[in-house]
Amino acid sequence: MGNQVVIAVGTFILLLTGLLLGYVLSQLVLGFLAFNLLTFFGTLSLILIFGTLYYVLFWQLRREQSRSSLDRGIPSQVDEGVSDSYLKNRLIARLSGDTAAAERLIEQAKETYPGMPENWYCERVLDDLERNRE
């Protein structure tokens, strides 16, 4: 909720500053506003405020998006752990409850194909057993 308030307020101020900057620049170009030190610094400050708010607002949005993507990553890790145990249980069931044989086959697959995720090894062993059964 706090991030949404920051984004809403920042967007409003950014819009207001942009309108004010556009008005001042148009008055300078049309010649209705005299160009002096005061208008120069006022315009420069509006440009700096606009640029800073633009940067901060989109930095906040990017940070919020990365945080939400990290939050979405946590359930997938939990699901991956569940699928690991599910695959391992399927493998043990395929081997009629022989846990030691399942572990040996997984270790052999790890030696043959190093660096793969744990669930990949279980899938590989299950596929090999299926092919050998045919």
By C-alpha distance, which of 114, 124, 115 is closest to 90? 124
**6-45 confidence digits (pLDDT tens):** 778 878 888 888 888 888 888 888 888 888 888 888 888 8
Contact 58, 14 (CB under 8 A): no
Where is pLDDT greater, at 121 or 69?
121
Contact 127, 91 (CB under 8 A): no
Domain ranges of the chain: 2-133
By C-alpha distance, which of 133, 95, 134 is closest to 122? 95
pTM above 0.85, yes or no: no
CA distance 109 to 44: 66
**87-102 confidence digits (pLDDT tens):** 888 888 888 888 899 8
Distances from the Cα of 99 to the Cα of 91, 93, 106, 109, 117, angstroms: 9, 9, 11, 15, 20
